[in-house]
Amino acid sequence: MCDAVQPTLSRVSQEYDACDQRLTFCAASIAKLGEHIQKTFPSDSPVHLDKNGCLPVFALYRYKNCVGVISGVDAPNILSQIAQHIPNKPVPVVQE
């Protein structure tokens, strides 16, 4: 995980109720998985992993679909994308 964005992701995990049930943060090796990851990006994504250099890339997935791609450490954009795409808080099941 990119050290520069770690404080932002820690803040997210503290600000959202049931965050562990709504979000998963993952890191992947572009060298090993870049081609597969690139195929999941929207066709109009301006980010191309083979041309991105050393900038970190953050991809947001919802229901197995990539809904956002952010290149570089852009905390405001990361927070905005998470707020826009985070699933609703799970409803507790009441046992009768």
Asked if residue 8 is part of any domain, the answer here is yes
CA separation for the pair 89, 75 (Å, rounded): 23
Asked if residue 41 is part of any domain, the answer here is yes
Per-residue pLDDT at 90: 82
- Is the model's pLDDT at 95 over the cut of 70? yes
**pLDDT tens-digit profile of 25-72?**
888 888 888 888 999 998 888 888 888 777 888 999 988 899 999 988
Look at the chain and report how many structural domains it folds into: 1
Per-residue pLDDT at 1: 59
- Domain range holding 54? 3-85
The pTM assigned to this predicted structure is 0.78
Phi, psi of 85 (to 5 degrees): -115, -5
Asked if residue 67 is part of any domain, the answer here is yes
Averaged pLDDT for residues 8-15: 90
Assign 3-class secondary structure to 42-76: CCCCCCCHHHCCCCCEEEEEECCEEEEEEECCCHH
